[in-house]
């Protein structure tokens, strides 16, 4: 499992209707900790390269009894690695950069069902 550092001050994510299939038996999940110490579980949907940067497109998952009980929103993170190969994920702060990467991802996927939401604050949904 990778080590992840996630700044959750201002995150961007886009939500899509969940009408595509996942191979639920072979999903590698990972956990990120937000600034308040809350754990969020994700699966990696894909990797996007744009202007020399690498981005991870991840879908939040909700786990009950060691099984995925629900899929959530899709998040976009900037991926970086340190000298030791540890992976770090950060939110995208620049609106233009975010929109460019979303477009690249949508073009790769050919999926027009993505809806972009911008969250200015962390709000926990119950």
The domain locations on the chain are 12-17+28-110
CB contact set of 4 (below 8 Å; sequence gap of 6+): 30, 31, 32, 33, 87, 88, 89
CA atoms of 35 and 38, how far apart (whole Å): 7
Which two structure tokens, joined as six digits, stand for 91? 């939110």
Q: Is the pLDDT of residue 118 over 50?
A: no
Residue pLDDT, tens place only, 63-113: 888 888 999 999 999 999 999 999 999 999 999 999 999 999 999 888 545
Read off the pLDDT of residues 27-39 as tens digits, 9 standing for 90 and up: 678 999 888 999 9
The pLDDT value given to residue 21: 47
């Amino acid at each position: 499992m990778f080590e992840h550092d996630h700044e959750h001050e201002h995150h961007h994510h886009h939500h899509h209707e969940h009408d595509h299939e996942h191979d639920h038996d072979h999903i590698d999940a990972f956990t990120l900790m937000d600034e308040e110490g809350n754990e969020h579980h994700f699966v990696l949907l894909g990797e996007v390269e744009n202007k020399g940067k690498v981005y991870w497109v991840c879908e939040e998952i909700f786990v009950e009894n060691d099984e995925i009980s629900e899929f959530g929103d899709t998040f976009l993170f900037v991926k970086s690695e340190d000298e030791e190969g540890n992976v770090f994920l950060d939110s995208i702060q620049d609106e233009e950069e975010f929109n460019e990467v979303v477009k690249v991802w949508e073009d790769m996927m050919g999926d027009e069902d993505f809806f972009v939401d911008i969250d200015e604050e962390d709000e926990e949904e119950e």
